[in-house]
Amino acid sequence: MDGMDGPRAAARAETGAGIGFAGVTVAYGGAVALADFTLDVRRGEILALIGPSGSGKTTALRALAGFALPVAGRVTIAGRDVTGLAPAARGIGMVVQSYALFPHMRVAENVAFGLAARGVAKAEQRARALACLRLVGVEGLAERLPRQLSGGQQQRVAIARALAIRPEVLLLDEPFSALDAQIRRAMVEEVGRLHAAMPELTILHVTHDQTEALSLAHRIGILRGGRLEAAGESRALYQTPPTRFAAEFLGRANLLPVEVLGVENGAAMVRFGTAVLRARGGAGRGRRLLCVRPHALRLHQAENGFAARVDGVRWQGETHALDLVAGDTRVHLTSSALREPPRPGTMVTVGFDPADAPLLDDA
């Protein structure tokens, strides 16, 4: 499948825009579900929206798809204002958690549904449906009914159906959460592969699974209470979260209360308990939070380290997870499986590379 119609791709190349939310506010009754939401997704980019339940991520997706009408703001697709357009006129493919394959239609009919709705000739419908099924590796299932498919197969068919209309934008609404872990990983890889084959497709991926977001998305937006808390390149957002909430929501984080003493050789000098440590950036003085991911801590490293008591040790197959206590602060450490893990109650030193430890405001 060529993925995009030539003229449409050319038009988008001119604008360079994928999806745009500009000050979008959505309210249900009197309750504001999404407030002054502004975010741009570049053409060909995969952006993951994550956040806890009720944070507004699905509302943002529904506003883009046309199922929730904003009370303020503007939604654009490829530079075109679609705020008042009906869902059918937006050119969006959508994959949802429950797959929503039409149970009374065979797989090929399901995939061809959008084409039939748009009045594409029957012969072309069939050819394009089979091409999409081939793309996701389930061309042999064309004549089956949805109930005759496994969860993973249904999800592939749902993706094929969304891609058959050659959408400008693909919306993924928690599409993998009903799958078991192994199939979920395979499907995330599959979507990554599909996007590599269709690099101009803009994907908005709503998920509560941070691992899924980190492994698939170029950029991540974190929502909290209907507002955009943080947004940025996935790796940068993970390594340098701008807020405490972002640090805690995107992966696990140790947030150590420290006092900034000053800057020395480009690194911030901070006091944690009785230990003086080096951290990344952070001009000024005062109380801050030192963010260190559990896998960034090194057991038995005295350099740039502190003492902690082992509270618990859990073997997790490929890794060991250690629960430590340093002063009044609980610290989590993960490392590759240890040959001789420390015993609970013993004292250990743990250290870290200053480059892996940014400073955050305690808010």
Partner 1 sequence: MTTLFAGRETRPVRFALWGAAWLLLLVFYAGPLLLIVLASFAGQWNGALPSHLTWRHYGQALTGDQAGSLWASLATGMIASTAALALGTTAALALRGARPAWQRIGSLAFYLPSAVPTVSVGLGLLVAYSRRPVLLNGTVAIVVLAHLAIVSAFAFGAVQAGLARLPPEYEDVAAGLGARRFYLLRRVTLPLLAPYLGAAFNLAFALSMGELAATIMVYPPGWVTMPISIFALTDRGDTFEGAALTVILAAATLLVLGGVARVVARAGGRARKDRRAR
3-class DSSP assignment, residue 279: strand
Closest CA to 108 of 57, 161, 71, 148: 161
| Residues that bind partner 1 in the complex, under the rule CB under 8 A | 65-67, 86-94, 96-98, 100, 102-104, 113-114, 116-118, 145-147, 161-162, 165, 171
Closer CB to partner 1, 148 or 211, in the complex? 148
3-class DSSP assignment, residue 166: coil
Cβ at position 85, least distance to partner 1 in Å: 11
Closer CB to partner 1, 90 or 293, in the complex? 90
Contact 281, 253 (CB under 8 A): no
Residue 343's contacts (CB-CB under 8 Å, 6 or more residues apart) are 310, 313
Residue 116's contacts (CB-CB under 8 Å, 6 or more residues apart) are 125
Closer CB to partner 1, 98 or 211, in the complex? 98
Cβ at position 180, least distance to partner 1 in Å: 15
Q: How far is CA 63 from the centre of its chain?
A: 18
Closer CB to partner 1, 103 or 266, in the complex? 103
Whose tokens are 């599909």? That residue is 194
Cβ at position 100, least distance to partner 1 in Å: 4
Closest CA to 55 of 40, 71, 35: 35
Cβ at position 214, least distance to partner 1 in Å: 26
Cβ at position 166, least distance to partner 1 in Å: 11
Phi, psi of 178, deg, nearest 5: -90, 0
Closer CB to partner 1, 113 or 249, in the complex? 113
Residue type, 277: L
Cβ at position 92, least distance to partner 1 in Å: 5
Closer CB to partner 1, 51 or 66, in the complex? 66
Contact 77, 249 (CB under 8 A): no
